Amino acid sequence: MSEFYKLNPSLKIAVTGGSGFLGKEIISMLLNIGCEDIISIARKPQHHYSKSKIKSQSADISDYKSFSKYFKGVDVVFHTAAKASIWGKYKDFYNINTIGTENIIKACIENNVPVLVYTSSPSVVSSASNLENVNENIPYPEKFFSFYAKTKALAEDKILTQSPSLRTIALRPHLIWGPDDPHILPRIIKKSHAGKLLRVGEGSNIVDLTYIKNAAFAHLLAAETLLSSKKLSGKAYFITDDSPVNLWDWINNFLLQIGMQKINKSISEKNALIAGKLFEIFYSLFNLSSEPPITVFSALQLSHSHYFDISAAKKDLGYHTIIKPDDALQNTVDFFKSKLP
């Protein structure tokens, strides 16, 4: 796939969240095109890079002094680090997602880093309504239904409106999935095993997905674009597999292909929203840190359509899918089948 890339392998590159699902894939792609001067920054020690050329550094992005020195001489920063969860304390989300991003911007400017590619999320425009083929003109909602969405929106706004000395692009990949996915698919499998997987709503909602290699590819394209011109700096782009699916049909197909049963239980959107609100009240009242079975945000996400017009990413960044949906699904099915007992 190296023929898709124009990124100069002699660049010095830093990746925040380098031990995460997306961060690891970006680093893998950089290595494949010959990049050798790569710094991976993460909160915890990154033992998986101990025998590679990667310079791994442990740091907390909410603490400016713990990481800013690593940006010296860097040409491109990929900022993928975030606190991503449907539940938690606002302060924790704000410190990592918003303050952390402010610190990344500051470190880039003070170290004269020319390019910053930020991993945002379509959650920044999520609301109580369906999002059907919307583009980047859609504004942030007046009300957010999760701390993650709110703090990512605050961070994205800072990315897009910061000092003109730093070239930035914010990418909004939707529902990143694929082999080694530590979030979405393991959750589905775990709930299915426990008999707790419910279809939320009527089951007709259409959603976009983004295969991990396609998401990482978009990040490299954004860096190439910013290095060649500052014309598109300060813009946000939706990124998807460009092939919306019926969410529940897709989940059932995945489960069947890995040898598990289809979903046979359901809950109405109305009841899911009521349950989500009651769980939020209960978990807040007793200061519980564990994740509720459902929240208002997750109920809305699971029952509503959310798919996006990616014409701007195609036109401006030259984005296209490098792995097609059928191949992506087969790769993922093979991986998770190998992990099942």
Residue 72 CA neighbour count, 13 Å, CB half: 4
Q: Annotated catalytic, 148? A: yes
Considering only CA atoms, which of 5, 187, 159 is closest in space to residue 82? 159
Rounded Cα–Cα distance for residues 262 and 192 (Å): 9
Using the CB atoms, write b or e for 235-274: b if 16+ within 10 Å: bbbbbbbbebbebbebbbebbeebebeebeeebebeebbe
Considering only CA atoms, which of 117, 113, 105, 70 is closest in space to residue 220? 117
The pair of three-digit structure tokens given for residue 231, joined into one six-digit string: 């014309």
Q: Please identify which of the residues 5, 148, 211, 319 carries the catalytic annotation.
A: 148
In sequence order, the 6+-apart residues with CB closer than 8 A to the CB of 236 are 120, 136, 156, 160, 169, 170, 171, 172
Exposed (0-12), middle (13-18) or buried (19+): which is 81, by Cβ within 10 Å? buried
Rounded Cα–Cα distance for residues 164 and 171 (Å): 18
- Rounding to the nearest 10 degrees, give the CA dihedral for residues 59, 65, 70, 72: 170
The answer to whether the CB of 296 falls within 8 A of the CB of 277 is yes
Catalytic residues: 148
